[in-house]
Amino acid sequence: MELDLDTVSVIQAKAIEFLFEFGPKILGALLIFIIGKFIIGFLIKTLDKVFLKYNIDQSLSSFLKSFSRAVLYVLLFITIASNLGVELTSFIAILGAAGLAVGLALQGSLSNFAGGVLILIFKPFKVGDTIEAQGTLGAVENVDILYTKVRNFDNKVVTIPNGALANNSITNLSQKPTRRVDMAIGVAYGTDLKKTRKVILDTLKKDDRVHAEPEPVVKFASFGDSSLDLVVRCWTDAGDLWPVFWDNMEALKEAFEANDIEIPFPQRDVNHYYPEGIPAAKSLGNPDGGQE
């Protein structure tokens, strides 16, 4: 179907009218968005400098920056809608209704937001702490309004919802300045335990990282299948925990060898019986059960 000249003229007139009426508003909205985005970026950077200047906790500053950015963008879009001629009363009513619907749909996200607030108030951990939570062990890298990022020891970043963190147990491995080093050591049956205890304590004293108070402890723990099991405990700075453990395990191995203290291998006594229940050794003619 071909359009006649009158119809084309009407369409052109309407297009020109629309362009003159809404074109400046659209250009204005685009300009407001560009300027607003620049201002938001500037304000967030300013907040960051203020937080650094006043030594605000990094977890709190990260949370506040994320929250402020979200609020500023909402205000920016309200300004753009107002510039386009949308009545603020109607827009806010629509926004409220939409917010209620979105809130019902995103209850988990609201729980995460509330969890983030609780984390910032009660401070079970802060950025840089090593924590164990939700099956993850690692260093806290960032606390956002909804999620906390934890970098584990093989350099993987795990994102954990704040709601789960706030409502479950968290083990903070960095909150206290000292940690206890636990070592389990086995020596052969027949070993002189007093001599062994002295060798262990003398070895630990050579390591300056091991604290004198509380003093190291060596206790006999149990009779193992092939060994006498000892528990060795000492205290050190939190950052030295694993180096002290690894270095002293190696040092104790060398000290045992130098002092003829045997580290046993697993041993088993095996007795073979024929189907009649007679021990194999007796069936060979030795009534005592030994080899002839």
Look at residue 133 in the predicted model and tell me its pLDDT.
92
Asked whether residue 61 carries a pLDDT value surpassing 90, the answer given is no
Give the tens place of pLDDT for each residue, 105-162.
555 677 888 888 888 888 889 888 999 999 999 999 988 878 899 999 899 999 999 9
Q: How many Å apart are CA 242 and CA 181, to the nearest integer?
A: 8
Whether residue 216 has pLDDT greater than 60: yes
What separation in angstroms does the CA of 194 have from each of 83, 182, 216, 225? 86, 20, 15, 21
* pLDDT the model gives residue 55: 75
Q: Is the pLDDT of residue 273 over 90?
A: no
pLDDT range class, residue 292, cuts 50, 70, 90: very low
- For residues 128-150, b (16+ Cβ closer than 10 Å) or e, as one string? ebbbebeeeebbbbbbbbbbbbb
Q: How confident is the model over 1-43, as pLDDT tens digits?
A: 455 566 656 666 666 666 666 677 778 888 888 888 899 888 8
Q: What is the pLDDT of residues 158-194, one digit of tens each?
A: 999 998 888 899 999 988 999 999 999 999 999 999 9
Residue-range domains of the chain with CATH: 8-105 (1.10.287.1260), 116-172 (2.30.30.60), 176-292 (3.30.70.100)
| C-alpha to C-alpha distance for 195 and 191, rounded to whole angstroms | 8
